[in-house]
Amino acid sequence: MNTNTFGKTFFFIILILSLYLFNCLDPLKTSFGTELKQNNSVAINQSLSINKSSTLPSLNSSSKTINLSKEFTTKINQGIPPKTNDFNIPKGYSIEPVLWNVNLPSTIAFDDKGNMYIGESGATAGGLNTYPRILKLDHLTGNLTILTNTMLTPPIVNIKFYKGMLYVANAGKISVVDPIKGTVQDIVAGLPAAGDHKTNQIAFGPKDGRLYFSQGSATNSGVVGIDNYLPDTGWLADAPQVHDVPAKSITLVGKNFTTPNILAPGPKNINYTGYSNGNLLIKVTGSHSNSKSKSGKDNGNYLSNVTTGAFQSFGNSTSKGEKINGNPFCNACILSTKQDGTDLKIVAWGLRDPEGLVFDKDDKLVVAVQGDDERGSRPIANDHDRIYKINVSNATDLGKFYGWPDYAYDGNRGNETTPVTSPAFHSHKVSQPLSLLLQNPPAVEKKVFADAGWGSIITQGVLSNNSIINNNNSNSNSVNNNKFGYNGKVFFAERGSYAPITKTSSSKGPMVSVKGDNNTIIGQVTPGTNNTIGQKIIMLDTKTGKLDNFISLKKPDPNFRPIGITFSNDGNSMYVASIGKQEVRNTLPNGAALPIPQTWVYQHTGIIWKVSKNNNNNTSNPLVQPQKNSIIAKRFQLYCKFGLSSCTYKSD
């Protein structure tokens, strides 16, 4: 064989081997040689289809095509960017999407180099659970990588960059993540976050450098009930031992609530059939017998009842004068520690769900609290979201009791909370007036700084400040180039109501639901207007308590559900994390009927928005501050080596 022939033969062999190896290693091939093809179908929750066959091919069968539905093929920044024409925004400012098709984004942070970190929550209302992870958008390369997807407990609620590390509020924990290596270390653990509300926003004290964070309540109003079993919160079946834990010791009046025993064995056909003396009736049909007699009469029965008291797990009653010991690992409270998680102290308690924490320019802690819902064994109507200010530098202001679960706020002119026994808080879902739960409670700090409205679902906050970078890095060197404006104002995100599940929605009341396609509820408005309840960015004057809209919608849009909010590390641009498209549905997306209305959040519909002042000389996405260039919104392709921990989204 001459050299030329040998060379051709060798080349041919190498070509064949290359094609063979490519076929074996192709990430779009299954182990049995079936090609996976992308399907741009918009169907949600659609099953895999294999040439209309209901079974997978066997190992020795011929190759068949598997069509992937949208949730398997959706990529970040794939498709047409979200529209911006439905926003009301102040003159001279603009809003644009930077990332879209993100999976449940809940928080954004920037480090001192300008890298962006996005927390994908991993869980949200309606029983949707995915997986929590932190994405990193590199300010130099524009690569979007998965910094970590392990050791964090869903939901990730908030991320703060401080002294070179990322501090992460995730369920029951405060964790520290290395922004380079992605390693995770828990510095506070064991917080009671298995109930309705989780471990919330982080703030660092400008003077004392302490780590401040909050923990929400386990229940709506102090009592575990049927609502904690239903899909919108849905934890009771998995964690029947959970109940609220007070920060300090309390004494109970012994008020108990009777409900069907939803935890009893056997199948349960859950339907709303009405209320009787405040108890939701749930009908159960047995699985081993015919549900109808020979005469055709329905033989379905009702569950046996149990009684549940305040600050007790489901089915456990209380007695008058019973004492509940306090615990600094508490619900409905604000806590602080040293930067390493030690020296845990109670800052405030009796705050139902203090989701937003941010220090203002005067170093006062501004706290945004969500009001009670009209649900469960003890529904409370007309309780407004509200904002408090706490002077953490004054020892006499620390450790105060703010009244929950016995005090609420109806927006009265006196700006004070009042007992829930007031007729203003009576819900038409129950026939009996509300009773107090605590006997001889501690003195209540009643004064409210600002009224955030009813049903808005206020969440995280951020300070616009031209002397401190972003408030994400409170010890950073001061800068004087903040061109965003509104210096000293605190901005809060408002997710919007879950009505009619959590609030009464009526054309004769303070809100009315707006319906979209397929009879879904896409939001709420003030009756007779297009003014949405929540679904806004609001701004607070920290001197007067006056609140104004900064960003609002021209009409309800289920795709704008803002939760996380921050500024770029130079303070020039605001970034908003909208968790995803959220509706209230009576049917599954495939048309199957649901027994009760349910909050429905769609995967891969989250958006990161950027808001800038038009004359700040920043173009599409000012992530790179030192280099004075920008990263525009790009399309990203996912590349993986040796598992998800080394996945990288590279721009096309």
What DSSP string describes 69-106? Answer: -HHHH--TT-SSPPP-TTEE--TTEEEEEEEEEESSEE
Question: CB of 609 within 8 A of CB of 95?
Answer: yes
What's the chain's average pLDDT?
83
pLDDT of residue 234: 87
Phi, psi (degrees; rounded to nearest 5) at 4? -65, -45
The reported pLDDT for the residue numbered 5 is: 53
605 SS3 class: coil
pTM summary value: 0.84
| Residue whose token pair is 């170093």 | 363
C-alpha distances (whole Å) from 74 to each of 133, 136, 273, 613, 635 are 17, 19, 40, 32, 12
- Residue 401 structure tokens: 């009791």
Sheet holding 93-102, edge to edge: 93-102, 606-613, 573-578, 562-567
pLDDT of residue 282: 43
Strand pairing of 123-124 and 606-613? unpaired
Q: Which residues sit opposite 447 in a β-bridge?
A: 416
Give me the helices (H) in 452-515, please: none
Q: Which two tokens stand for residue 53?
A: 């066959």
Res 356: pLDDT: 98
Q: Token pair of 109, please?
A: 């942070």
Q: What is the dihedral of CA 314, 316, 320, 321, to 10 degrees?
A: -90
**Hey, where are the domains in the chain?**
3-73, 97-222+330-651
Low-confidence ranges of the chain (pLDDT < 70): 1-63, 272-303, 466-482, 506-508, 616-652
Half-sphere exposure of 266 (CA within 13 A, CB side): 18
Q: Class of the 97-222+330-651 domain?
A: mainly beta
The rounded distance, in Å, linking the Cα atoms of 323 and 279 is 26
Do the Cβ atoms of 48 and 42 come closer than 8 Å? no
Are the beta carbons of 277 and 291 closer than 8 angstroms?
Answer: no
Per the DSSP assignment, residues forming a β-bridge with 649 are 144, 638
Other Cβ atoms within 10 Å of 345 Cβ, number: 15
For residue 441, count CB atoms less than 10 angstroms from its CB and return exposed for 0-12, middle for 13-18, buried for 19 or more: middle
Q: Which residue is it, tokens 């575990």?
A: 224
Residue 23 tokens, joined: 């076929």
β partners of residue 451: 386
Quote the pLDDT of residue 171. 98
